[in-house]
Amino acid sequence: MAVTFSSLIPKRSCTCRATVSLGVNGTLYHSRTGTESTSKSGFSFGVLLNPNPRLNVGIVYHEIPDEFADARFPLEDIDTGTVTSGISYYPDDRTVISIDLRNLNKDDRRASREIHSGIERIIADRFALRAGYFRKKETDHDIYSLGVGILPHWERITKFRNSMRSDLVTYTVVIDKNGDECYWHLFSFLLRY
């Protein structure tokens, strides 16, 4: 669910629009070990400010059930009860450069105040090529990611382009340079109704 509203901000002789989006994301976590099965739900909610067409600024709060505290940590370094902020800049219509600051509100967590960076480039209006980097604060391991996404046709509609975009299909490889080079392969598929 996402709610969007606009506010008018006067700027000298013109009127400019800044868009503020409020969003909530629910996640179902499920685990099966042998014959035992556990399911719990978590959520994230946030605010996205789009002060101009080339800049987004956002902040998100993450709530993950205790039984699944490690569900998002190995790949994203996100702990429960933490806040992430981010800035994304669009130097042109096909490129996004982003920087996130993870776990702003918790000094006692495993990955407090880590900087994550990334870049995305759209090719032929349908493919997104991505690269990312961060250094794990607790281990000083360098983490790299490379990915590709297939964009839906509705991406050409301006209102979806900067705030609520989702790929139809995404593949990402994450490389943890921990001495042994650990690899993660991630696939995602969009179902929208």
Provide the residue range defining the domain that includes 77. 2-189
Name the domain count of the chain. 1
Residue 116 has pLDDT above 80, yes or no: yes
Q: Give the sign of the dihedral formed by CA 161, CA 164, CA 169, CA 172.
A: positive
CA angle 65–99–160, rounded 5-degree value:
80
Separation of alpha carbons 26 and 37, rounded Å: 20
**180 pLDDT more than 60:** yes
CATH of residue 52: 2.40.160
Q: Region 15-29: what's the mean pLDDT?
A: 80
- How confident is the model at residue 49, as a pLDDT? 93
Comparison of pLDDT for 160 and 114, the residue scoring more: 114
The sign one gets for the Cα dihedral 155, 58, 131, 184 is negative
Q: E strands of the chain, at which residues?
A: 2-11, 14-33, 36-52, 55-63, 82-92, 95-102, 114-123, 127-135, 142-150, 169-177, 182-189
**Is the confidence at residue 20, as pLDDT, over 50?**
yes
Give per-residue pLDDT as tens, 125-172: 889 999 999 888 777 788 899 999 998 875 454 544 444 556 788 888
CB 57 within 8 A of CB 82: no
pLDDT in tens, 26-59: 888 888 888 889 899 999 999 999 988 899 999 9
Give the separation between CA 62 and CA 39, rounded to whole angstroms: 18
Q: For the segment 61-102, what is each residue's pLDDT rounded down to a tens digit?
A: 999 898 888 877 777 778 888 899 999 999 998 999 999 998
